[in-house]
Amino acid sequence: MGATELKSVLPRELLASVVVFLVALPLCMGIAIASGMPPAKGLITGIIGGLVVGWLAGSPLQVSGPAAGLAVLVFELVREHGMLMLGPILLLAGLLQVLAGRFKLGCWFRVTAPAVVYGMLAGIGVLIVLSQAHVMFDSGPKPSGLDNLVGFPATLVQAIGPGSGLQAGMLGLGTILIMWSWDKLRPQSLRFVPGALLGVGIATGISLFMALDVKRVEVPDNLSDAIDWLRPADLMNLADPAILIAAIAVAFIASAETLLSAAAVDRMHSGQRSDFDKELSAQGVGNMLCGLVGALPMTGVIVRSSANVQAGATTRMSTIFHGLWLLAFVLLLSSVLQSIPVASLAGVLVYTGLKLVDLKTFRGLGRYGRMPMFTYAATAGAIIFTDLLTGVLVGFGLTLVKLALKASRLKISVVPLEAENELELRLVGAATFLKVPALTKALAGIPAGSTVHVPLNNLSYIDHSCLELLEEWGRANAAHGTKLVIEPRGLKRRLEGRVHTTTGIGSGAS
């Protein structure tokens, strides 16, 4: 980029970077709290996402940082393994992402069924709402979604009693109301002001003016105090199968969410398209750095990225500058962050979680039939009532079942031929083990003494179970004068196994 071009785009990039910074600031802290981590950890991830990943990114207008989509998984990992184990998990997850990018696997993450991805995000959204509803009343979240749901009435009763719960709850609900109203009524001239910042700013001002005794954000005066360097001894824990599975889960979910966001960002502008493999590697580098310093994992985030595009950004400079503003704010104005009520940030997360439950997308899946809608609901439900990994596996399982059923569509018909006692068993589609019962029924209806021709040229595939059934039926009925003629012409490369010729069975020319 030449000096003249740089001079022309710099003002626009600076403005866009400020907008993204204002969007990212409350979200970085709120997502850290939702993840069971100190707010400063989320800010460190946001800084790395801007300064490092912004520089390396294959999607230049995408903004990376801590994401709500990983908050539930991180909360579970911290609860089960402790905060220090997050470092090795992120280091390995980041390495897997780098390797996936180097081996050009980015496109494969994008083939994940949309119903599974959107169902996953919806389930995560519900869990965020259920957990942060407790935090919004200055209480602590429970271990599971069901516990959070069942325990919420007790949290409300506790909030009505002595303490800060009711005051905190009013601040949190007020933040949600401000964000919702701003989204609906925001003037065009103020579109760059994010609702989250406005809600948190007003709630903070009210809490200070009224001297409310509520929990506030804890941010160290020195950012280096929030860094927990990865210790060599911690790397030994990578031999633990549970840690390995956790790293794979983080890598997969972070990659899927990142590339889904990158594809959405590409649809928002007409500039440079995303290089998904390069983006995946950049995210991996970022997550490895987050693991080294003990921060949160990162993904490409659609909320910040869309704000970046809408603010007029055309290059990666806006993303890099937003990381710089985060760093400067934390270093110079940490006392401002320490005055923010935790309940207000929880309100931001409740509103964010509600938006993840995208009913419009759910209804849109209905255009493709009932199965995608069922997959969405089942994935979300399994995540809510079990855990994130189980829910994702349920979604993938349903997708595989759907594929198996589609791949096994087989039309079976018995057609009389001109010659006497000659029939054609016509098979159209894919003959797999799932269709053995239907094929058995069709064969049972063929009269004894017939010559049965079975052309395979209308099949896309036939597996050994169907071949064996045909051959065994031919052998079993040969004594009754039945002759089976399998004609494999046209199916040489779609045939599993070899057609055998035995007594009573003929094989046509190939």
Structural domain of 465: 409-487
- 316's tokens: 């990666």
pLDDT at position 1: 58
Mean pLDDT computed over every residue of the chain: 89
- Angle (CA) 136-206-178 rounded to 5° is 60
pLDDT at position 491: 66
Q: Are residues 356 and 472 in the same domain?
A: no
Domain for residue 141, yes or no?
Answer: yes
Give the dihedral of Cα atoms 284, 290, 296, 297; nearest 10 deg.
0
Q: Which amino acid is at 402?
A: K
Q: Are residues 173 and 105 in the same domain?
A: yes
Other residues' Cβ atoms within 10 Å of the Cβ of residue 363: 10
pLDDT at position 461: 85
Domain for residue 492, yes or no?
Answer: no
**What DSSP element (H or E) covers 455?**
strand 451-455
pLDDT in tens, 401-445: 888 777 778 999 999 998 888 999 999 998 888 889 999 999 999
Q: Which amino acid is at 410?
A: L
SS (H, E, C) 340-366: CEHHHHHHHHHHHHHHHCCHHHHHHHH
Q: Are residues 427 and 330 in the same domain?
A: no
- Angle (CA) 210-216-218 rounded to 5° is 150
What value does the mean pLDDT take over residues 280-307?
95
- Domain-ending residue, one of 382, 403, 424: 403
In order of 183, 238, 245, 248, 394, the CA distances from 241 in angstroms are 45, 8, 6, 11, 21
Q: Are residues 75 and 125 in the same domain?
A: yes
Q: Are residues 478 and 361 in the same domain?
A: no
What value does the mean pLDDT take over residues 283-306?
95
pLDDT above 90 (res 208): yes
What value does the mean pLDDT take over residues 187-197?
84
Domain count, the chain: 2
pLDDT in tens, 50-93: 999 999 999 999 999 999 889 989 999 999 999 999 999 999 99
Domain for residue 158, yes or no?
Answer: yes
Q: Are residues 26 and 93 in the same domain?
A: yes
pLDDT at position 509: 44
Domain for residue 244, yes or no?
Answer: yes
Q: Are residues 265 and 221 in the same domain?
A: yes
pLDDT in tens, 311-362: 889 999 999 999 999 999 999 988 999 999 999 999 999 998 998 898 898 9
pLDDT above 90 (res 201): yes
pLDDT in tens, 126-147: 999 999 999 999 998 988 888 9
Q: How far apart are CA 61 and CA 112, in angstroms?
A: 23
Domain for residue 339, yes or no?
Answer: yes
Q: Are residues 333 and 456 in the same domain?
A: no
What value does the mean pLDDT take over residues 5-25?
86
pLDDT in tens, 393-409: 999 999 888 887 777 78
Chain centroid to Cα 106, Å, comes to: 14
Looking at the chain, the whole-number percentage of residues with pLDDT higher than 70 is 94
Q: Are residues 346 and 430 in the same domain?
A: no
Looking at the chain, the whole-number percentage of residues with pLDDT higher than 90 is 58
List the CATH number of the domain containing 475: 3.30.750.24
pLDDT at position 318: 95
Q: Are residues 299 and 430 in the same domain?
A: no
Q: Which of 312, 269, 318, 406 is nearest to 64 (CA)?
A: 318
DSSP state of 141: -
pLDDT above 50 (res 202): yes
pLDDT at position 439: 93
Domain for residue 505, yes or no?
Answer: no
pLDDT at position 510: 39
Domain for residue 229, yes or no?
Answer: yes
- Domain-ending residue, one of 403, 428, 455: 403
Give the pLDDT band of residue 379 (cuts 50, 70, 90).
very high
6-10, 26-30, 77-81, 427-431, range with the lowest pLDDT: 6-10
Q: Is the dihedral of CA 40, 44, 46, 47 positive or negative?
A: positive
CB burial of residue 288 (10 Å; 0-12, 13-18, 19+): buried
Identify which has the larger pLDDT, 185 or 112.
185
Q: Supply the pTM of this predicted model.
A: 0.77
Give the pLDDT band of residue 500 (cuts 50, 70, 90).
low
Beta pairing partners, 426: 413
pLDDT above 80 (res 192): no
pLDDT above 50 (res 501): no
pLDDT above 80 (res 164): no
In order of 22, 58, 258, 300, 350, the CA distances from 263 in angstroms are 24, 12, 9, 11, 26
Q: Are residues 268 and 416 in the same domain?
A: no
Domain for residue 503, yes or no?
Answer: no
Give the pLDDT band of residue 4 (cuts 50, 70, 90).
low
pLDDT in tens, 460-499: 888 888 888 999 999 999 988 999 999 887 665 555 555 5
Q: How far apart are CA 58 and CA 182, in angstroms?
A: 33
Q: Are residues 457 and 323 in the same domain?
A: no
